Structure formats: C-alpha cells, structure tokens
C-alpha cells in the first residue's frame, strides 16, 4: 500500500512532466490508464493506492522516452516522499508493463501489475489507440502506410524497439495482438469492441488506399 497522502503530489508532478507530450503519451493517457486500472483493481481485489501510483508512473522510464534530469522514477518518487519499499513495488510493476514484441512474453508478478498492464493496453487499442498510434508515428517521422514494407512479428525486444516501419504495420505487430494478451477477464471483455473497431478501421483504410471506395 502506498501512503494515500503522496498521490495528489505525485499527480501534480507527472502532470507537469507529461503536459506537453504530443506522441500519444500525454498526461491524459496517464489519467485514462489510472481510471481504467482503478476500475479493474476494484474488480480484481488489487491494492488501489499501489495501482494508482503505478499507473501515474508507468511511462516515466519508458524505452520510448528520454529521461530528463530530476525525472527518473527514483527521483520523482523520492520527491513526493515515497518510502524505498513503496518505490521498489512500483518499480517492479512498471518494469513489467511494456509490450516488447509479438513473440516476447511479458508476464506480470502481481495482481496490481496485471491491472496496470491491462489498462495501458486498453488505452493502446480502439479509437484512442488508433489516434495515439498515428500521433506516435508522426512524432517519429514514420509513414502512415507503405505497401512495400510488410509487418514483422518481432521475436525480441531489440528488433521491436529499433523497428522503423510504417504506422499501419504497428497494428499487426502489436495492437491487434493485445486483445488476446489481457490478464483479466474484464479487460478482455472491454478489449473486444475496441479490437473490432480497429479491424473496421484497417479494412476501410486499405479500401480507400487501393481506390476500392
């Protein structure tokens, strides 16, 4: 359990850090992940304060971000007065969150980790997931789509991380795989409709691209 009195301070801090992000990892992503994670936590009997702190902090040291001075997980947690044991629990959860490639298993070691991972993955799919994928792709100079560049099902984290493929590929390399990789039954249910919406979007995108509309 995380002392609930640190949560408002933590929120303020991460809000400042993520405010200006235009790659799909803005403050509102953290806010949505927190809301979904807390809902799942209530259903799964996970510790809500640990889930909330981990949801707020889950992208701080993400491999896609550059860590600025004073903004490491350790520094942010210490600055709001979290204890070392609390920081360690959060670290374990956030280190287990990220997708690492189609062929790489990403097991979680706690129910709190399970719901934070599910919440982050739910926010990567559906209408919001589509918007975030193109925002991220644009922020990294990626093409929307390249018919000559087929998707790759990455077998290791390094090849996934260094991929430069078009954003449409990301749907086949990650986003369409997430529904079947949810940890909890409620997240799996929530993923169904979002998954279907992405399938419809892709079908339509390719139809328009190929002039079949």
User: Which residues contribute to the site for Ni ion (CB under 5 A)?
Assistant: 59, 120
Distance from C-alpha of 38 to C-alpha of 108, rounded to nearest angstrom:
17
- From residue 51 to residue 90, the character string flagging contacts with ligand ADP as x (rule: CB under 6 A) and all else as - is --------x--x-x--------------------------
* Chain centroid offset of residue 21 CA: 14
Q: Write out the two tokens for 174.
A: 């990650």
* Least separation in angstroms between CB 81 and ligand ADP: 26
- For residues 126-152, one letter each, b for 16 or more C-beta atoms within 10 angstroms of the residue's C-beta and e for the rest, the string is bebbbebbbbbbeeeebeebeeeeebe
Q: Tally the residues of the chain.
A: 213
Interface with ligand ADP, residue 170, by CB under 6 A: yes
Distance from C-alpha of 112 to C-alpha of 65, rounded to nearest angstrom:
23
Task: Kindly tell me which residue out of 49, 98, 183, 184 binds ligand ADP, with binding defined by CB under 6 A.
Answer: 98
* Least separation in angstroms between CB 156 and Ni ion: 21
Nearer to Ni ion, 136 or 171 (CB): 136
* Least separation in angstroms between CB 132 and ligand ADP: 3
Q: DSSP code of 176?
A: G
Nearer to ligand ADP, 45 or 66 (CB): 66
């Amino acid at each position: 359990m995380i002392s609930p009195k640190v949560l408002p301070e933590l929120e303020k801090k991460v809000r400042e850090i993520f405010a200006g992000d235009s790659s799909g990892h803005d403050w509102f992503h953290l806010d949505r992940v927190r809301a979904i994670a807390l809902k799942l936590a209530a259903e799964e009997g996970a510790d809500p304060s640990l889930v909330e702190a981990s949801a707020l902090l889950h992208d701080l040291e993400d491999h896609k971000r550059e860590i600025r001075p004073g903004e490491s997980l350790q520094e942010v947690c210490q600055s709001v007065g979290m204890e070392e044991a609390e920081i360690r629990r959060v670290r374990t959860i956030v280190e287990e969150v990220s997708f690492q490639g189609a062929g790489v298993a990403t097991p979680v070691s706690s129910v709190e980790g399970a719901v934070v991972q599910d919440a982050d993955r739910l926010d990567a799919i559906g209408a919001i997931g589509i918007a975030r994928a193109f925002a991220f792709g644009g922020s990294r100079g990626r093409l929307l789509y390249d018919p000559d560049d087929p998707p790759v099902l990455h077998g290791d984290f390094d090849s996934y991380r260094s991929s430069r493929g078009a954003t449409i590929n990301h749907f086949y390399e990650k986003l369409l795989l997430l529904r079947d990789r949810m940890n909890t039954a409620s997240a799996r249910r929530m993923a169904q409709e979002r998954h279907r919406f992405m399938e419809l979007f892709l079908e339509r995108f390719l139809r328009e691209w190929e002039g079949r509309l």
